[in-house]
Amino acid sequence: MPLAVCRYETLSAEGMTRAREVYPRHLAYLKEFASSGDLLLIGTFADPVADGSMAVFRDRAAAERFTAGDPFLIEGVVIGWRILDWDASAYGTIAPER
């Protein structure tokens, strides 16, 4: 199943300070994409400042539409990002043993 991953990798120098201000607009934008089915998963890594965050979209076109209008990118919170095509495969059920 071809999906797309958008990885936000680098904050601007004032990124964390600006993130607090811009976050409400970013969250509203995320919700739009989630409700349309274009955005499947999103989250930060353990240390979002050092390692960033990522989102999984149903296809590359959705990821490109997202990055074209995301307030975090438009308003300069995130300055380093990329979209990667991801061929997701599932091999059986991935769950902890009980």
The domain spanning residue 58 has which CATH number?
A: 3.30.70.1060
Question: Does a structural domain hold residue 40?
Answer: yes
Question: Does a structural domain hold residue 14?
Answer: yes
Number of domains in the chain: 1
Question: Does a structural domain hold residue 98?
Answer: no
Question: Does a structural domain hold residue 95?
Answer: no
Q: What are phi and psi of 36, to 5 degrees?
A: -80, -15
| pLDDT of amino acid 74 | 96
Q: Which two tokens stand for residue 59?
A: 């296809």
* pLDDT higher than 90, residue 76: yes
Specify the residue for token string 């095509």.
Answer: 85
Question: Does a structural domain hold residue 35?
Answer: yes
| pLDDT of amino acid 20 | 92
| pLDDT of amino acid 91 | 59
Question: Does a structural domain hold residue 61?
Answer: yes
Task: Report the predicted TM-score, pTM, of the whole model to 2 decimal places.
Answer: 0.84
The tens digit of pLDDT for each residue in 3-56 reads 999 999 998 988 888 999 999 999 999 999 999 999 999 999 998 888 999 999
Domain of 82, in residue numbers: 2-86
Residues contacting 54, CB < 8 A, separation 6+: 5, 6, 7, 8, 42, 43, 45
Burial bucket for residue 72 (CB in 10 Å: 0-12, 13-18, 19+): buried
* pLDDT higher than 60, residue 94: no
Question: Does a structural domain hold residue 96?
Answer: no
Query: Alpha-carbon dihedral of residues 63, 56, 77, 70, nearest 10 degrees?
Result: 40
The tens digit of pLDDT for each residue in 12-26 reads 988 888 999 999 999
The DSSP output letter for 64 is H
